[in-house]
């Protein structure tokens, strides 16, 4: 294990002596990002609080460079590890730059006086998460999202070797979520910053993480690289999804399909049908669709939302029996709409389906769909 920077061995965590999760074990190399995922209340925050020493371990050990964290001096630990938990800190008459500057206290001595170098590091941290313009604002008067970014700047200003974050993107809009995770990824690879965090955004967790730890029940579930964790059906099981679906490959979550016999057949492909599929779901209109190849951009959403999908295996020309299935589906439906603007040589059968729908008087333009 000597090549591992941070190790958790047989850790049991809980409150008031009562175990919540047992036998937690993982190991991280320097510069890796580990993300905890799992349902609300599963114990992700409890694990993080136990790792940083805020909660006493019921069993097991947590080591940083082969040294047990619970035996490290507080000042030494503060120089190694920075923490951003969900709860906001309480401040009184502190500006945003004052809050970020507290990240330098492990280095300033008892008087807490900032050197010019400390001030430069504080300024750089604020620039990194785009909050420099908030510097002189009262911390209590800024929005929750801005507070979260201030706290992230504070952690960065601490110049830690390991960063522990509990739902760091909770209050951030999509722009700042992506920017912040990009910053984390960049710091992890270039500065060998080790990151342990919890996230609710599964698609982002899959993209940013080197390792993923799944938390549910008394024992942790899967642990490993994203490609070993996000396999078909696992996330639905982890979160006990019964309404709607989650596609591990694309990272898409979809609402439940509309039940009932399809009244509309959608000819689509290449991503042209996805928006219409979701519009039909919102309007509670049951539909079928095809012919789609199993590797088509529209296919995952079609599988989640359509009552029936007429499909073809990837890279094959649409076979005659598949074409006949699509024609029979058109016969069952009242109307047909086509999302495709053009047809390639391998897609001629879908063009023929459009012609067949027109010959049956069932074809309608996409815009006409909502004029009824």
163-179 confidence digits (pLDDT tens):
999 998 888 888 888 88
Which whole number is the average pLDDT over 13-42? 94
pTM here is: 0.81
Query: Cβ distance 139 to 90 under 8 Å?
Result: no
Task: Say if residue 301's pLDDT is above 80.
Answer: yes
| Torsion 300-301-306-312 (CA) sign | negative
The residue ranking higher by pLDDT, 24 or 219, is 24
Give, for 211, the enclosing helix (H) or strand (E).
strand 211-215
Contacts of 309 (CB under 8 A, 6+ apart): 288, 289, 290, 292, 299, 302, 303
Query: Cβ distance 103 to 83 under 8 Å?
Result: no
pLDDT at residue number 372: 45
In three-state secondary structure terms, 221 is strand
The residue ranking higher by pLDDT, 180 or 201, is 201
- Work out the pLDDT band at 279, boundaries 50, 70, 90: very high
Task: Say if residue 1's pLDDT is above 90.
Answer: no
Query: Cβ distance 80 to 161 under 8 Å?
Result: yes
Helices and strands, counts by H and E, the chain: 14, 17
Task: Say if residue 211's pLDDT is above 50.
Answer: yes
C-alpha angle 151-50-65 in degrees, rounded to nearest 5 = 85
Kindly report the average pLDDT of the chain as a whole number: 90
pLDDT at residue number 258: 95
pLDDT at residue number 247: 85
226's tokens: 């994203």
Task: Say if residue 369's pLDDT is above 70.
Answer: no
Return the HEC string of 198-234: ECCCHHHHHHHCCEEEEECCCEEEEEECHHHHCCCCH
- Work out the pLDDT band at 66, boundaries 50, 70, 90: confident
- How many other β-carbons are positioned within 10 Å of the β-carbon of residue 3? 7
pLDDT at residue number 368: 55
69-104 confidence digits (pLDDT tens):
888 888 888 888 999 886 656 677 899 999 999 999
Task: Say if residue 43's pLDDT is above 80.
Answer: yes
- Give the torsion through C-alpha atoms of 29, 32, 38, 43, to 10 deg: 50
Task: Say if residue 158's pLDDT is above 80.
Answer: yes
In three-state secondary structure terms, 42 is coil
Percent residues over pLDDT 70 in the chain: 96
Distance CA 195, CA 193 (A): 6
Give, for 37, the enclosing helix (H) or strand (E).
strand 33-37
pLDDT at residue number 86: 67
C-alpha angle 80-86-87 in degrees, rounded to nearest 5 = 105
pLDDT at residue number 84: 87
110-150 confidence digits (pLDDT tens):
777 899 999 999 999 999 888 999 999 999 999 888 888 89
305-329 confidence digits (pLDDT tens):
999 999 999 989 999 999 999 999 9
Look-up of token digits 């790792």:
51
**Nearest CA-CA partner of 271 in 297, 294, 246:** 297
**Nearest CA-CA partner of 131 in 99, 92, 105:** 99
Contacts of 77 (CB under 8 A, 6+ apart): 53, 69
| Torsion 366-289-314-304 (CA) sign | positive
Look-up of token digits 């295996």:
313
């Amino acid at each position: 294990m000597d090549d591992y920077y941070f190790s958790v061995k047989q850790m049991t965590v809980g409150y008031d002596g009562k175990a919540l999760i047992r036998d937690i074990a993982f190991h991280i190399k320097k510069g890796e990002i580990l993300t905890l995922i799992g349902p609300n209340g599963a114990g992700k925050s409890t694990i993080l609080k136990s790792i940083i020493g805020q909660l006493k371990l019921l069993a097991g050990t947590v080591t940083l460079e082969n040294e047990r964290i619970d035996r490290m001096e507080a000042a030494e630990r503060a120089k190694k590890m920075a923490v951003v938990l969900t709860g906001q800190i309480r401040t009184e008459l502190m500006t945003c730059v004052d809050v970020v500057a507290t990240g330098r206290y492990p280095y300033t001595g008892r008087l807490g006086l900032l050197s010019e170098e400390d001030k430069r590091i504080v300024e750089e941290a604020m620039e990194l998460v785009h909050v420099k313009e908030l510097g002189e604002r009262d911390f209590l008067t800024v929005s929750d999202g801005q507070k979260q970014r201030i706290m992230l700047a504070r952690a960065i200003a601490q110049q830690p070797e390991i960063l522990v974050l509990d739902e760091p993107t909770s209050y951030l809009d999509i722009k700042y979520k992506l920017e912040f995770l990009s910053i984390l990824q960049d710091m992890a690879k270039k500065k060998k910053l080790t990151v342990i965090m919890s996230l609710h955004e599964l698609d982002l967790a899959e993209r940013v993480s080197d390792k993923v730890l799944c938390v549910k029940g008394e024992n942790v579930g899967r642990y490993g690289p994203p490609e070993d964790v996000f396999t078909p059906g696992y996330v639905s099981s982890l979160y006990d999804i019964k309404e709607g679906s989650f596609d591990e490959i694309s990272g898409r979550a979809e609402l439940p399909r509309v039940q009932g016999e399809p009244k509309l057949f959608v000819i689509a492909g290449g991503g042209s049908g996805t928006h219409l599929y979701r519009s039909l779901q919102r309007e509670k209109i049951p539909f079928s669709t095809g012919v789609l190849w199993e590797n088509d951009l529209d296919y995952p959403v079609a599988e989640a939302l359509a009552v029936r999908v007429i499909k073809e295996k990837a890279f094959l020309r649409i076979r005659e029996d598949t074409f006949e299935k699509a024609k029979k589906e058109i016969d069952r439906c009242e109307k047909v709409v086509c999302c495709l603007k053009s047809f390639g040589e391998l897609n001629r059968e879908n063009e023929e389906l459009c012609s067949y729908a027109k010959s049956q008087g069932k074809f309608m333009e996409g815009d006409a769909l909502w004029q009824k």
